C-alpha cells in the first residue's frame, strides 16, 4: 500500500509538558504520510480514547526517562509511545506469550540483551534496564533492516526471522519488500500503523477529542544504591514512601525483597530527602539502618544485621 502524501501535515498542538516535548520531535508520520491502514488504526484509537487517557497517566513515572534516553541515542521520538501499545506503561504486564514488562521482552530476547531472569529478580520488569535493552534492540533491528524503521518495528513485534523470511519471499516473487507489501501476521499489520496513528493523536490530542494526562517534563525518579538487601514493605514503613509506589518503580524484585537484584532501588526524586531523613532518624534511635553519602544524585542505604 502506498502512503498518501497529498494530505497536509498535521497541526502540532503546543504543550509545555513531556507530551509536548516528545511530539515536537516526531519524524516518522511526517515522512511516511497517511494511508488507509493508518487511518483505520486512528479510528480504532479514537473509539478507545479512554485507553489512551488511562495509559497516558500510567506513563508519568517513566516517560521522561524514556524520552531522555531516546534523545541521547538520536532515536525517533515515536518510540517513546511503544510501551503504551506494548504494555499500557505497566511494567508488571505479562502477555499470553509470556512477554513481560514495559517493553514486553520475551524470555530469550531478554536474555540476549542482558536482562537477567531468576526466581528473585526479573530484569525485564526493571524500568531502567529494560528501557536500555529495548533501545539497543531497536537500534540493532534498524541497522539489520537497512535503516527502515517500519521494518524494524515489525521485527520488534513479529521477530526478525519472520520479517526476514517475508522480505526474501517477496524478493523471489519480484514484489516490493517494504513494510506495507509484506504478508505479515495480522497483529503486526496493525502494530506499526497503530504506533503511527497514536503519534498523530499525541501530536494533536484536542483536535481528535483525546485527553492526555499531564506529565511534567522533569525527572520522576532517582536511583539509590543498597549496601545490603531490604524488604520493600519495611522500607516503605520507615521511609514514608507508599509501598505501592516502591513496587511500581521496582517491579523487577519478584518477592518484594532486593535480594538477588542489582543492588539498587528506584525511588521518587521528590521523596529522596524524606527517605534520607527518616532513615537517619531510625539509625540514631536504634542503629539498625544507616545511610552514607556517595556521588551527587544518589544515596547508599544499608541495613545493619
Based on the number of CB atoms within 10 Å of its own CB, is 91 exposed (0-12), middle (13-18) or buried (19 or more)?
buried
Task: Spell out the long-range contacts of 291-295 with Cβ–Cβ below 8 A and sequence spacing 24 or more.
Answer: 292/227, 294/225
In degrees and rounded to multiples of 5, residue 120 shows phi and psi of -105, -25
Written as nine digits, the cell of 153 is 518495528
Q: Are 98 and 47 in contact (CB under 8 A)?
A: no
Marked catalytic residue, from 13, 71, 78, 86: 86
Q: Are 153 and 28 in contact (CB under 8 A)?
A: no
CB count in 10 Å sphere of residue 291: 19
Cα(275)–Cα(258) distance, rounded to whole angstroms? Answer: 17
Q: Are 124 and 101 in contact (CB under 8 A)?
A: yes
Q: What distance, in Å, lies between the first and last C-alpha atoms of the chain?
A: 65
Enclosing H/E stretch for 152: helix 149-158
* 86 catalytic per annotation: yes
Q: Are 170 and 179 in contact (CB under 8 A)?
A: no
Q: Which residues are catalytic?
A: 86
Amino acid at each position: 500500500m502506498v502512503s498518501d502524501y497529498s494530505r497536509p501535515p498535521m497541526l502540532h498542538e503546543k504543550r509545555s509538558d513531556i507530551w509536548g516535548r516528545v511530539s515536537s520531535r516526531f519524524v516518522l508520520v511526517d515522512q511516511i504520510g497517511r494511508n488507509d491502514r493508518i487511518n483505520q488504526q486512528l479510528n480504532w484509537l479514537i473509539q478507545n480514547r479512554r485507553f489512551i487517557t488511562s495509559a497516558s497517566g500510567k506513563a508519568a513515572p517513566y516517560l521522561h526517562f524514556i524520552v531522555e534516553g531516546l534523545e541521547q541515542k538520536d532515536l525517533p521520538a515515536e518510540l517513546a509511545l511503544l510501551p503504551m501499545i506494548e504494555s499500557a506503561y505497566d511494567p508488571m504486564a505479562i502477555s499470553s506469550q509470556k512477554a513481560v514488562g514495559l517493553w514486553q521482552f520475551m524470555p530469550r530476547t531478554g536474555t540476549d540483551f542482558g536482562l537477567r531472569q531468576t526466581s528473585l529478580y526479573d530484569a525485564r520488569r526493571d524500568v531502567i534496564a529494560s528501557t536500555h535493552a529495548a533501545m539497543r534492540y531497536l537500534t540493532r533491528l534498524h541497522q539489520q533492516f537497512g535503516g527502515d524503521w517500519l521494518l524494524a518495528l515489525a521485527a520488534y513485534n513479529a521477530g526478525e526471522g519472520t520479517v526476514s523470511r517475508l522480505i526474501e519471499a517477496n524478493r523471489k516473487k519480484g514484489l516490493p519488500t517494504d513494510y506495507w507489501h509484506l504478508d505479515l501476521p495480522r497483529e503486526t499489520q496493525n502494530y506499526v500503523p497503530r504506533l503511527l496513528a497514536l503519534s498523530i493523536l499525541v501530536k494533536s490530542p484536542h483536535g481528535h477529542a483525546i485527553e492526555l494526562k499531564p506529565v511534567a517534563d522533569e525527572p520522576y525518579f532517582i536511583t539509590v544504591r543498597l549496601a545490603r538487601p531490604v524488604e520493600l514493605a519495611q522500607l516503605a514503613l520507615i521511609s514514608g514512601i507508599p509501598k505501592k509506589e516502591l513496587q511500581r518503580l521496582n517491579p523487577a524484585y519478584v518477592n518484594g525483597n532486593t535480594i538477588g537484584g542489582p543492588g539498587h532501588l528506584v525511588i521518587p526524586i521528590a521523596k529522596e530527602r524524606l527517605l534520607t531523613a527518616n532513615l537517619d532518624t531510625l539509625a540514631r534511635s536504634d542503629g539498625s539502618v544507616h545511610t552514607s553519602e556517595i556521588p551527587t544524585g544518589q544515596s547508599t542505604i544499608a541495613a545493619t544485621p
